[in-house]
Structure formats: C-alpha cells, structure tokens
Structure 1
Amino acid sequence: MNNDGAPGFRPIDIVTIIYALLQAVLVTIFMSNRPGWFYLTGFYLAACGIALVFALFQKYGFTKILRLCYPLFFLPLLYEALRSQILIIWGRSFDHQVTALEMKIFGFEPSFILQKYMTIGLNELFSLFYMYYYILPVLALILVIRRRWDSLERTALAVSVSFYICYEIFIFYPVFGPRFYLENVYYLPLIGPFFTPLATRIVSQGGLQGGAMPSSHCAVALVFTWFLAREFKSAAKPLYFFLIMLSISTVYGRYHY
C-alpha cells in the first residue's frame, strides 16, 4: 500500500463506507416503523461522512496514525449500534440450528461436556486467556512505535473487515450463544475469585446478545495474531499458543459455540 502523504480514498475508507451505507439501508428498510429509526440511519451516514473526511487528510504526524486506522477507534460505537438491530430481519435467533450442527459433528455440545473438567483454577485460567483479547490492540501499538506504517495499515484494514463481516452476519443470522440458549442445561456455575467474575462482568455489560456466531472475539484475535506473527517472527509461537487458548476459552466460558 502506498504510504505517501497525499489525500485520497484508501481500502479502509471504502470498506467502512460500504459497511455504513449497508447498515443505513437495512435500518431504513427494516426499522422505519420504529420510533427514532432515523437517528440510527443518521449515525451510519455520519460514519460515512467521517470516512470521507479522513480521505482528505494529509498523513503527517499524529494524523498519519489516525488516517491509517481511524475505524478502530469507533468500532465500539458501531458494535453498540447493533443492539437494536440484531433481530430486525428474522425476529428470532438460530441457536437451535447451531447446537444441532454441533451434535451432528461431535455427538455432544462442547461447552456442556467441558463441565466435567471444570475447576476454579481452570475457570480463572481460561477467563484470563479470554481477556487476552483486550491486550492484542496494545501489542499492535508496537507497529506504531517502530513506525511500521504499511503493516499498521494492513492490520487495521484486516481487523476492520473482520469486524464488519461479523457485524453483518449477526444481523442476518443472529445467535445468542450457549450462555443464554443453554442456561438452564448447565449444572455447574462459572465461579472464581478474580478473573472469572471480571470476564463475566465484562461480557454481561458489554456483550451483544445475538452476536455469538461467528465469534468476532476469535476472528479478530486471529487477524491480530497473524499480522503480529508475520512482523515479529520470534514471537510467533507464543502468539499462536495464546490464540489457541483464547479460542478454547470462548467455548469453555460458554460465550460461543
């Protein structure tokens, strides 16, 4: 990717505008009979406007960092906006299809079977691995410190696209996840002294009911890990180890199938 200072549309601008416009269209079609729908449409159109403004930015100094990865800063807002959109198309979740597929493939529901091995120690360990996800963006700051602008732009683009795809699937194929759908089936609670309640609190307060398939947690962690491992080859093995443990933790913690 060309990293000169000239303004102009870049791939990250284009995918952001496409995503925001698609969301605005979906809201207009499926939510126009609900009070305040136009505010949500306006929000997505504003996101398009922000992308257009950044396309005019000269990439010098601190604005260079913003220019290359600005969508990452308002992805949490796009995530929050989904709360009122999850069931706008079908009005229901598809957990029954996902659990049926798991039974067909494995012959059992993985998160249910894992109860046999649960201990407070494992609860704490996997909760810690689950929260490793929130450290990955901090690790990506190494790219900024080392002025690896091309790698930063590619990483930001891949992460943004991963989130956008997951967000769209959440709307077209909402899945609540085992912690909701199988809540009355589990016979052991997830308990622990520190990391377990912390992870549970984070997900309970910030998690999206209906966004369990695919796991944006795993998808984005995979993207971050891939690019960081390519950039820092000596750290590849521990990075992939943490990715595997994080992926297991999403099932162990009943957040994803």
Structure 2
Amino acid sequence: MSGRRKPLAIDRLAIGYFGVTGLVALLFGGLPGAGITTAHALIIFGIIRLASSDPRAGLRGVIRASYAVLLTPALYAELAVLNRFVTQRYFDTTVQGWDAAMFGGQPSMELSTLLPWLPFSEVLHLGYFAYYAIVPAALIGVYRTRGFDALHRTACAVTGAFFVSYLIFTFFPVAGPRYEFVRIGGEIGDGTLYRLVHGILETGSSKGTAFPSSHIAASLAAVVAAGREDARWFWLLIVPEIALTIGTVYGRFHYAADALVGALLALAVCLAVYGPGSGLAVRATHGPSHGIRTDDLGDDPREG
C-alpha cells in the first residue's frame, strides 16, 4: 500500500474513548481534570502516529493489533477519579432494586448462603481468577492459529466491551456488593483461592466499577470473538468463563444485574464487530482456508 496507512478499527476505538473521557475530565474535573485531558490528548497524538505503522508479525504485530487492551488496566485505575468528577453518588440502591425485581432478592448475598460448600466456592473463585488468563489466551491463541486480522477483530470486541463498561462507570458508578454487604464468612472465607482473589481486589480495585461487570463483558467478548475465529478457542475457554460468571455473584463481587448486563454487552459488541453493516468497519466473510477474513479499512489488501 503506497502512502500513509489508514487507522485500524482498534485505533478509532481508542481515539474515541480517550477523546470522550478527556472531554469529560475537562468539563467536570477542574485543574486535575485538565491534567487528565492533557494526558489523553498526548495519547491520541501517539495513536495517530502509531496508525502510520502496520507491523503484522511477531511481538510487534501482537502489540499493534491489541495495544488498546493492554492500556485498560491503567484506564481502570483512572475511573475512580473520573466518576467523582461527574457525581458524588454511587447507584447501588438502584441496582439492588433491579436485582430484587428480577430475582426476588439479592443473589449476591443469597447464593453463597444457599451453597456454602468450600470446594464449590474455591472452583468459582478459581474461575474468577481465570479472568487474568482468559483474555490473553484468547488474543494470543487466535493470533497463533488465525493470524493478525483475527487478532485485530478479537481485540476490537474486547476493547469495545471494556470501553463501553468504562463509560458507564464514569456516569453511573456502582460500588458493588463488596462495599455494600458483609463479606462471606465461615468455612468459605478460609479458602485459599477466596483469600487470594479478595486480596487482589483489596489492593487493585477502583470503586464505582461494578455495573456492568467488565470482567464478564471483556472475557466473554474474548471467548465469543475467539470462537468466531476458531471454534477450538471457544470450547477451551467457555468452562472457565462460566465459572467466572457465576463466581462474580457468588463471591459478592457483583450484583446479578451486573453479571447479566455484562454478558449482554459482550454479545452486543461481538455483534457489532462481526455483524453485517458493522459500524467499526470490521466486516467478516468466510474465507476458503483460514476461516474469517476481513476487509477492514486498515488492513493491507496484499494480505489474504
């Protein structure tokens, strides 16, 4: 391709997110917000420069297609500041009302009481911990078996799930059951994996990021998108994903409504990426030998 390369869909997603949150910080955050806006503007400039390069092999190719996913831990840490710019409220009572209306109670309190079995709890907490492996496994896996374009599409689905979740956190912060309800006690509370997972969250969580569950949204998007590229990855990752989904409620990390909306969000972003008329210009067709192909605006026509 001669001349400057066009941005990939992942670039447009990232620029859109940094632009919106930078504007929110500027409008509502005063002097601290102006600092965030400046940092976001510099990142957008860097993404524009990055868009002129297009490595497709090795570690540089993996980073080029999925760098936005790699940025999400830092963006997650920023959310506890961003949502305080917009509102001083947490909307837990609203979500608790949704749980009561849909499920007749509070599943995040009741599930562990109904099933107080240490082995069952440990399996579900292991599933929750598996979140840290599901997304990388899906991204690296599809790159190894289907190549750069498949990785890019999968990364778009994961990034979309993260960014939509993060925007909701900014305007509708929900603390979650971990802040609102008492911790699980008894034999379950003495579990090794229980202590491990809760210890991680005590040191690395951002308050106000419960609704929807970005853990479920991003990881399920990764599983579904990777399975769309290569069905083997779906069947490999769906079992830990199910354990993660149940574990978010059982362990009192999320309300049931958080989990439900997180799952629906995952399916919605996958539909946006793979469905006809995709707004992200990631339109897939079935190729004769490599599964799904793409005619994304950022893809090099010389490749497949």
**Global fold match (TM > 0.5):** yes
Paired letter, 1:94: F
**Distance 1:116-1:237 versus aligned 2 partners, 3 A rule:** same
Cα drift, residue 118 of structure 1: 1.6
Paired letter, 1:40: I
Paired letter, 1:204: E
TM-score between the two structures when normalised by the length of structure 1:
0.89
Which of 195, 199, 214 in structure 2 is aligned with 1:197?
Answer: 195
User: 2:102 aligned with 1:126, yes or no?
Assistant: no
Contact 1:5–1:59 (Cα < 8 Å) also in 2 = no
Measured in 1, the distance between the counterparts of 2:45 and 2:233 equals: 39
Pairing 1:120-159 to 2, within 5 Å after superposition: 120-139=118-137, 140-146=139-145, 148-159=147-158
Which of 196, 208, 211 in structure 2 is aligned with 1:210?
Answer: 208
User: 2:47 aligned with 1:48, yes or no?
Assistant: no
Pairing 1:77-226 to 2, within 5 Å after superposition: 77-114=74-111, 115-139=113-137, 140-146=139-145, 148-183=147-182, 188=185, 190-226=188-224
TM-score between the two structures when normalised by the length of structure 2:
0.76
Q: Which residue of 2 aligns with 1:58?
A: 54
Specify every segment of 5 or more residues in structure 1 that has no aligned partner in the other structure, as ranges. Answer: none
Specify every segment of 5 or more residues in structure 2 that has no aligned partner in the other structure, as ranges. Answer: 256-304
**Distance 1:159-1:252 versus aligned 2 partners, 3 A rule:** same
Measured in 2, the distance between the counterparts of 1:37 and 1:226 equals: 36
Cα drift, residue 245 of structure 1: 1.8
Cα drift, residue 121 of structure 1: 2.0
Paired letter, 1:247: T
Cα drift, residue 235 of structure 1: 5.0
Contact 2:80–2:206 (Cα < 8 Å) also in 1 = yes
Which of 66, 70, 80 in structure 2 is aligned with 1:69?
Answer: 66
**Distance 1:104-1:137 versus aligned 2 partners, 3 A rule:** closer
SS at match of 2:54: coil
Q: Which residue of 1 aligns with 2:35?
A: 39
Measured in 2, the distance between the counterparts of 1:147 and 1:235 equals: 11
Paired letter, 1:150: D
Which of 19, 23, 33 in structure 1 is aligned with 2:17?
Answer: 19
Cα drift, residue 247 of structure 1: 0.5
Measured in 2, the distance between the counterparts of 1:199 and 1:69 equals: 26
Measured in 2, the distance between the counterparts of 1:21 and 1:123 equals: 41
**Distance 1:55-1:195 versus aligned 2 partners, 3 A rule:** same
Measured in 1, the distance between the counterparts of 2:2 and 2:150 equals: 14
Deviates more, 1:98-107 or 1:186-195: 186-195
Measured in 2, the distance between the counterparts of 1:36 and 1:97 equals: 29
SS at match of 2:240: helix
C-alpha deviations, 1:128-168, integer Å up to 9, x for none?
01011111133121223335211100011111111110000
Cα drift, residue 72 of structure 1: 1.7
Paired letter, 2:254: H
**Distance 1:13-1:4 versus aligned 2 partners, 3 A rule:** farther
SS at match of 1:141: helix
Cα drift, residue 60 of structure 1: 4.7
Measured in 2, the distance between the counterparts of 1:16 and 1:204 equals: 28
SS at match of 2:84: coil
Measured in 2, the distance between the counterparts of 1:137 and 1:106 equals: 30
SS at match of 1:118: coil
SS at match of 2:130: helix
